[in-house]
Structure 1
Amino acid sequence: MKRLYITLLLTLFTSSAIFAQKEFYNNNKFKQLDEELPTPNVYRTGSGAPGHKYWQQKADYIIEASLDESNHRLTGKETITYTNNSPDVIKYLWVQLDQNMRAKNSNTYKIQQSKIEDKASLKKLQRIEGYPDYDGGHKIASVTDANGNKIPYVINQTMMRVDIEYPMKPGDQFTFNVEWSYNINDRNLMGGRGGYEEFPDGNTLYTITQWYPRMAVYDDVNGWQNKQFLGNGEFALTFGDYDVKFTVPSDHIVASTGVLQDSSVLTEEQIQRIEKAKTSEKPEMIVTLKEVQKKEKKKAKGTKTWHYTAENVRDFAMGSSRKLLWDAMGVEVGGKTVMAMSYYPKEAYDLYKRYSTEAVAHTLEVYSKYTFDYPYPVAISVEAENGMEYPMICFNYGRVDEKGNYTKRTKYGMLSVIFHEVGHNYFPMIVNSDERQWTWMDEGLNSFLQFLAEQEWEAGYPSREGFPELIVDYMKGDPAGISPTMTNSESIHQFGYNAYSKPATALNILRETVMGRELFDYAFKEYARRWKFKHPTPADFFRTMEDASGVDLDWFWRGWFYTTEPCDISIENVTFKELDSQDPNIEEKKRKELRSSKTPTITEIHNEEVGLITRVEKKKQLQDFYNSYDPLDKTPEEAQQFKRYQNGLTKEDKEWLKEDHFIYQIDFKNVGGLIMPIILQKNYEDSTSKKVYIPAEVWRKDNVNITKVFVEKKKVVSFVLDPNRETADIDTYNNYFPREKQVNRFQLYKGRR
């Protein structure tokens, strides 16, 4: 009895637990995102807009630096003025030292996985934990206050904590100085966003990036964003004003963030060419091929200092080389002229002279249409055999062979990378998201706009991301190798697909299929406008898109950004029903037509084959009324019932009943798990077709199985899901009913023969 009592208790407890789990844990895919998103407050509202007490810090820089070409070394000193606009008291400052990613003790080398290969070069073995012959990283010479007094500091890998003597109160400013140097990395050998490239002719092209100690972001979300720079997660930076003087060999041309303050570094002829370019309808050469070829042959002695300033930017970068050609063209954006410019070595001349500046101009026009007018005075593309973005300047690729020829892949790859990198001016250089935490917020949004720019550049442009079908192979891959988009930048599997392709595709689907262009474009532009020159988070984006469109998208964000589920919707079954008109004349005819089309049974077939004659057929006296009566004939009762039925119908009802109607019940199954709208094409008997969109909310009561009934005036011969490949459905075989035969490789080969 005691054992039975315990068993009953366990059973009741288990049943209660199961019941509680089912009853109280809401795992519906339409569950709102309230649990995942931060609580709105005075800094960030529930609508996704900045709150009435939103604040952000400011960091201004005065920098002097010089380039030692013979030793590939950069030396500099800077004065940083940091303004505390927060309501908090700040006891110390965090500064980013991103070059330390290449220091000998860098964790970036230590966390790289490696394995013993059957064959390995000596160099590869020597570089398992870095480059022993390269002394990388920022070398901090001093940190002092405005009066020259030393300030204590601690360097922790790629971050430096500056221990200020007196805490900064709200509204305080603090000015300090840093002197530093670093050895510039060989990009061909080590890779990287910046560095130098040495050409066979002995000349060098420098991309000067992550080159100065930079203030980390302090905000209302994280406090200090002092996550270490390990290589993938890029940068979280503070807006400010820059005054930069950069001393280089006298024959170098310097492309830079900002506006040139001292034109004495240019010839009179080059200055005149710039003036002409401001109103030109095509790019004008500022530094010509002939001028560059002359400089390449004999390096000049001495140095020149290029002085640039920039207002309200989050970073500063430069390119420097005697090999740089330069062209420019004025572009009208929002009633003002922006200088679209390109710098490139002669190795890219035939491609960049023709396309680069036009691509810059195109990017400004397209992105401004979908977000806000480009606010800066210049936008620059530098060919440096890589792809990376900074305010007003970016580094791209696209070189030709010795005869000036290039492949189709090189051309469109170059155009796409220029659209993308110039586009980064909008995300994250102006809409200043935290790249160290959320790569998709700049790369994904920017890749989406890149897709729009590509499609507006040329009909049939070979875009490599944006179209839903291009993401299918990734979406149906092994889940163990896929991360949700909402994953920290350093922990992502398949970085390119996760942070670039998937969010770009999701936004395209949102625009074209879920919301429609009008609602999406308005909401997306509102997000860009709200967070221009501010620091948004994912929640701010999600909330704004819903707030400005009036569309509940929590199911969409949850599916596409918080899970790795793919889209796979199946037509499981179709049941056909014909409408009963209740008219005895019509129904009698239908019943008899059905009987005539009915397939005989095997017994009837065999009886006919042997010539069976029944007894009733032999003896006519056995026949009565029922042998001659047709049970499918209409009856007087049916006629009376139909009369009563008609008396209750309106004129419109009677007209509707005169038409043919065919009823189809379709059973759909969500095989993949990702909630998406149902896009159904009905192919009719008369060779016409019709497409219907069923909103995703049709799954709200059951995430797996739903049934829909369609009443048609024409007979449907087949149904097709997602006929225009809008949803990235990973299995199109179950999109057809009846199922279509899949052509295998052997059959395809036979067809070709």
Structure 2
Amino acid sequence: MKKFFLLGIIAVFSCVSANLASAQTTEQLNDVFRQLSDEVLPTPNVYRTASGAPGHKYWQQQADYKIDVTLDDDKQRIIGSAEVKYYNNSPDTLRYLWIQLDQNRFAHNSGQDKSAFSSADAKAGYGAIRAEVYKETYEGGYKISRVTDSGGAPLPHVINDTMMRIDLPTPLRPGQKISFNIDWSYNVLDATIIGARGGKEFFKEDGNYIYEIAQWFPRMAAYSDYDGWTNKQFLGNGEFTLEFGDYEVAITVPADHVVSATGVLQNPRDVLSSVERERLEKAKTSKTPVMIVTTEDAAAKLEKRATTTKTWRFKANNVRDFAFASSRKFLWDAQGFYQKENDKTVMAMSFYPEEGNPIWSAYSTQAIIHTLEVYNRYSLVYPYPVAISVNGPVGGMEYPMICFNGPRPTLDKKTGKKTYSRRTKYGLISVIIHEVGHNYFPMIVNSDERQWTWMDEGLNTFLQNLAEEEWEKDYPTRRAEPYQIVNYMKSTKQVPIMTNSESILQFGNNAYAKPAIALRILRETVMGRELFDFAFREYSRRWKFKRPTPSDFFRTMEDASGVDLDWFWRGWFYTTQHVDVSLDKVERFNIDTKDPEIEEAIKRAKDQEKGLTPARRADQELEKRTDRFPELLDFYNEHDEFTVTNKQRNDYTSLIKGLEDWQKALLSNKSNIYKLHFSNIGGLVMPLPLEVTYEDGSKEEIRINAEIWRKNAKKVTRALITDKVIASISVDPYWEIADTNMENNHYPRRIEKSRFELIKRKKSRDMMKEFETKLKSEDDDKKEKEDSPEK
């Protein structure tokens, strides 16, 4: 079959001669393919280049910590003391330092408390009211008892809600460092009542706690080339912008507690039994997880509580944060994962109570290793010595080398057996993949979470989906396929992805799902896997242990792939437009041969195709006057209007003599020429994947680049030439571009299929209204939980 495709874009632009300059400006602003760097992206400089790579004068600060912390299990308090060493690697002189005091978010009259709002609906769930009541009695926030220089002299400081400014006695010049000390304490909140990124969980059955301790020490705020001090108050959504540094942390807990933490345990002989150390050594080379602390070991600790304490010492280099978990309830399993790429073994470890079995012992450590395998392939090789998953009160939260994950089985009180649903199983696997994946973004590729949530959540969700697909066939992914985002894309709850965390309306859709699916479309439909994967790895490599901004990501993806993507970033990340492409009309043409014998016969056949009603058709059989008087027939009755004349034949002969061979061949071409007319109703330009079905039953895929819209982003026409006759055409047959309206994607239009759901109606309309209100309320509650910023 001969086939070739002609680019037939029809675009009409009107301009008013009296105001030509203004019209040109309007046209430029309507150009969805105009470059972002001209009006949106920051100007490249010596710190960040136009290619998206760090500049030759790139810098970032460093903050090292030596911390002694005690977990008071009787009063559920944290008491800590830290020596902070801060390095000014910037070209600027600093007269003061800013410190993050994240626990102050939970203090009475905090900025979050004063700016909190609730639903206008008069109804509220038990959990929401319980949290409000708990806040009234919980004494949250830091008690800062000492801020001194390295010599012990007090440093003047001002606490402003979740930030603290330390005024320096002498300015800190470029290349200098300073050491200072902070002592503090705070009460650990109940994370089962208030959704938080760390906290405690009480087990009434045995009177014990699991502690997941995060944002637990005063942390240096980031100082960067693009933002200066990142001292925006913490209101709950926008997470953390932090500096890399080295940590030495001594954690004092009850002697029978098991502690998991960021970094490597430095004193195993002081805190682990010889049997536990032997098991841990065996786990390094084991092919399956090895129990370090067994069910029996934990049960023995629960029977008799220790009255003494032990200090666990951890060390972590080049990390941006530190978290830990502690409990006498913990079981502990571990398995070594050898990475050929850097010739290092990572210890994958899981800590969980017996209440987490059987799914935690079956899936947690396996999911950790699976995450490392997949993320190493698509981004960068995991550089840290451990990767930990902990089960406790926090549903899902990440820190360097350690993450907190919530799902566990349900205890049937009647039978005494633990059961778990399909949702719980896959929820556990997915949250572990997601939170372990955060080690890569933002714990290593250190994006600014306080400003751009999508840079860690969106990128990580994209990779999470790839890992889930490699776990098993038909894995129930939630935020992977383009069709899963269409309802949000056409909703009124949208804000652009490039919106600050605190102003996002639907956190889960905006910061997780939409950017993740945008990257999926970029990889599968726009760029292709090979170009995308190379560029994404290049971004990961360039910004490993550095702080990228959105422009660095956008520019690197283009620089490493050779694909102009400004139109994509603009539409998906800077607007709330959606995809709605309509195939309005398909026209079929054939080349006019100019031969009157052929063309007049075609006209005659077309004229005869005109249908008559049955009654009109019967009229044709009635006796005519010429039947009774044949002498009325003449020359014109023998030759109709389509009969070829000698003049037409002579004109055709003259025409053919004047044509070249290629022109004669083109006139005799019998191919079908189709014109496909598209409308961009949603505003978001996208490539056009087509499936053409021919009358002989064969099918063909045609992919048209997004640049077809470059002259007119609202309407375009595409020419298609083929020897076959087209029966139908479908736009986006595999649902890959997040088209929000599939009804206008087919030509000819299809009858849409759906199902009627039969219900037994209530006699009272009031009862029916109550039922509908209940359904809506439950649906809203479900969406609110799924989109919770506390993950």
Compute the TM-score of the two structures, normalised by the length of structure 2: 0.88
* Conserved? CA contact 1:584–1:642, under 8 Å: no
- 1:366/1:123 CA distance change after superposition, 3 Å: closer
Shift of residue 521, structure 1, vs aligned partner: 0.5
What residue in structure 1 maps to residue 89 of structure 2?
A: 85
Determine whether 1:457 maps to 2:468.
no
What residue in structure 1 maps to residue 318 of structure 2?
A: 312
Q: Structure 2 CA distance, aligned partners of 1:228 and 1:174? A: 25
Shift of residue 116, structure 1, vs aligned partner: 7.4
Determine whether 1:108 maps to 2:87.
no
What residue in structure 1 maps to residue 235 of structure 2?
A: 230
Q: Structure 2 CA distance, aligned partners of 1:17 and 1:130? A: 68
Q: Structure 2 CA distance, aligned partners of 1:116 and 1:600? A: 64
Determine whether 1:281 maps to 2:284.
no
Q: Structure 2 CA distance, aligned partners of 1:410 and 1:77? A: 39
Q: Structure 1 CA distance, aligned partners of 2:126 and 2:580? A: 48
What residue in structure 1 maps to residue 5 of structure 2?
A: none
Shift of residue 739, structure 1, vs aligned partner: 1.1
User: What is the 5 A alignment of 1:267-278?
Assistant: 267-278=273-284
* Conserved? CA contact 2:78–2:185, under 8 Å: yes
Q: Structure 2 CA distance, aligned partners of 1:669 and 1:497? A: 27
Of the three residues 504, 526, 529, the one matched with 2:538 is 526
User: What is the 5 A alignment of 1:633-652?
Assistant: 633-634=643-644, 637-638=648-649, 641=652, 645=656, 648=659, 650=661
What residue in structure 2 maps to residue 668 of structure 1?
A: 678
* SS of match in other structure, 1:311: strand
* SS of match in other structure, 1:487: coil
* Conserved? CA contact 1:245–1:307, under 8 Å: yes
Q: Structure 1 CA distance, aligned partners of 2:691 and 2:127? A: 59
Q: Structure 1 CA distance, aligned partners of 2:291 and 2:151? A: 46
> Greater CA deviation, 121-130 or 565-574?
121-130
Q: Deviations for 1:554-576, whole angstroms, at most 9, x for unmatched residues? A: 11001000001110000111222
Shift of residue 276, structure 1, vs aligned partner: 1.0
Of the three residues 246, 251, 255, the one matched with 1:241 is 246
Q: Structure 1 CA distance, aligned partners of 2:153 and 2:391? A: 43
* Conserved? CA contact 1:315–1:391, under 8 Å: yes
Shift of residue 730, structure 1, vs aligned partner: 0.7
Shift of residue 275, structure 1, vs aligned partner: 1.1
User: What is the 5 A alignment of 1:123-138?
Assistant: 131-138=135-142
* SS of match in other structure, 2:536: helix
* Conserved? CA contact 1:82–1:175, under 8 Å: yes
Of the three residues 33, 36, 42, the one matched with 1:33 is 36
Amino acid at match of 2:652: Q
Q: Structure 1 CA distance, aligned partners of 2:122 and 2:609? A: 71
User: What is the 5 A alignment of 1:128-527?
Assistant: 131-200=135-204, 201-264=206-269, 265-333=271-339, 334=341, 335-385=343-393, 386-402=395-411, 403-478=417-492, 481-527=493-539
- 1:16/1:223 CA distance change after superposition, 3 Å: farther
Amino acid at match of 1:272: E
What residue in structure 2 maps to residue 23 of structure 1?
A: 24
Determine whether 1:545 maps to 2:557.
yes
Q: Structure 1 CA distance, aligned partners of 2:608 and 2:127? A: 84
Amino acid at match of 1:454: E
Amino acid at match of 1:24: T
Q: Structure 2 CA distance, aligned partners of 1:431 and 1:582? A: 67
Identify the structure with bigger relative contact order (alpha carbons < 8 Å, sequence gap 6+): 2
Q: Structure 2 CA distance, aligned partners of 1:130 and 1:100? A: 16
What residue in structure 1 maps to residue 52 of structure 2?
A: 48
* SS of match in other structure, 2:513: helix
- 1:390/1:410 CA distance change after superposition, 3 Å: same
What residue in structure 1 maps to residue 784 of structure 2?
A: none
* Conserved? CA contact 1:58–1:82, under 8 Å: yes
* Conserved? CA contact 1:126–1:132, under 8 Å: no
Determine whether 1:685 maps to 2:703.
no
Of the three residues 731, 736, 745, the one matched with 1:721 is 731
- 1:560/1:653 CA distance change after superposition, 3 Å: farther
Identity within the alignment, %? 53
What residue in structure 2 maps to residue 699 of structure 1?
A: 709
User: What is the 5 A alignment of 1:581-596?
Assistant: 581-582=593-594, 586-587=598-599, 590-596=602-608
Q: Structure 2 CA distance, aligned partners of 1:309 and 1:158? A: 27
Shift of residue 134, structure 1, vs aligned partner: 1.2
Shift of residue 406, structure 1, vs aligned partner: 1.4
* SS of match in other structure, 2:247: strand
* SS of match in other structure, 1:719: strand
Amino acid at match of 1:247: T
* SS of match in other structure, 1:482: coil
- 1:136/1:635 CA distance change after superposition, 3 Å: same
- 1:354/1:618 CA distance change after superposition, 3 Å: same
Q: Structure 1 CA distance, aligned partners of 2:597 and 2:310? A: 101
What residue in structure 2 maps to residue 623 of structure 1?
A: 633
- 1:130/1:710 CA distance change after superposition, 3 Å: same
* Conserved? CA contact 2:591–2:667, under 8 Å: no
- 1:16/1:141 CA distance change after superposition, 3 Å: farther
* Conserved? CA contact 1:186–1:196, under 8 Å: yes
* Conserved? CA contact 1:109–1:128, under 8 Å: no
- 1:117/1:462 CA distance change after superposition, 3 Å: closer
Q: Structure 1 CA distance, aligned partners of 2:231 and 2:700? A: 55
- 1:735/1:639 CA distance change after superposition, 3 Å: farther
- 1:745/1:390 CA distance change after superposition, 3 Å: same
Shift of residue 38, structure 1, vs aligned partner: 0.5
Shift of residue 599, structure 1, vs aligned partner: 1.8
Give the number of equivalent residue pairs: 730
Q: Structure 1 CA distance, aligned partners of 2:191 and 2:251? A: 21
Q: Structure 2 CA distance, aligned partners of 1:579 and 1:346? A: 78
What residue in structure 1 maps to residue 778 of structure 2?
A: none
* Conserved? CA contact 2:596–2:652, under 8 Å: no
Q: Structure 1 CA distance, aligned partners of 2:134 and 2:609? A: 80
* Conserved? CA contact 1:109–1:130, under 8 Å: no
* SS of match in other structure, 2:675: strand
* Conserved? CA contact 2:76–2:188, under 8 Å: yes
What residue in structure 1 maps to residue 624 of structure 2?
A: 613
* Conserved? CA contact 1:582–1:642, under 8 Å: no
* SS of match in other structure, 2:486: helix
Q: Structure 2 CA distance, aligned partners of 1:313 and 1:720? A: 51
Shift of residue 112, structure 1, vs aligned partner: 1.1
- 1:298/1:718 CA distance change after superposition, 3 Å: same
* SS of match in other structure, 2:479: coil
What residue in structure 2 maps to residue 741 of structure 1?
A: 751
Shift of residue 630, structure 1, vs aligned partner: 4.4
Q: Deviations for 1:108-151, whole angstroms, at most 9, x for unmatched residues? A: 11111136765679997796597221111111010011111110
Q: Deviations for 1:279-316, whole angstroms, at most 9, x for unmatched residues? A: 11111111111111221222122011000000000000
* SS of match in other structure, 2:718: strand
Q: Structure 2 CA distance, aligned partners of 1:525 and 1:341? A: 27
> Greater CA deviation, 681-690 or 496-505?
681-690
What are the ranges of 5 or more consecutive residues in structure 2 without an aligned counterpart? Answer: 1-15, 412-416, 760-791
* Conserved? CA contact 1:142–1:180, under 8 Å: yes
* SS of match in other structure, 1:132: helix
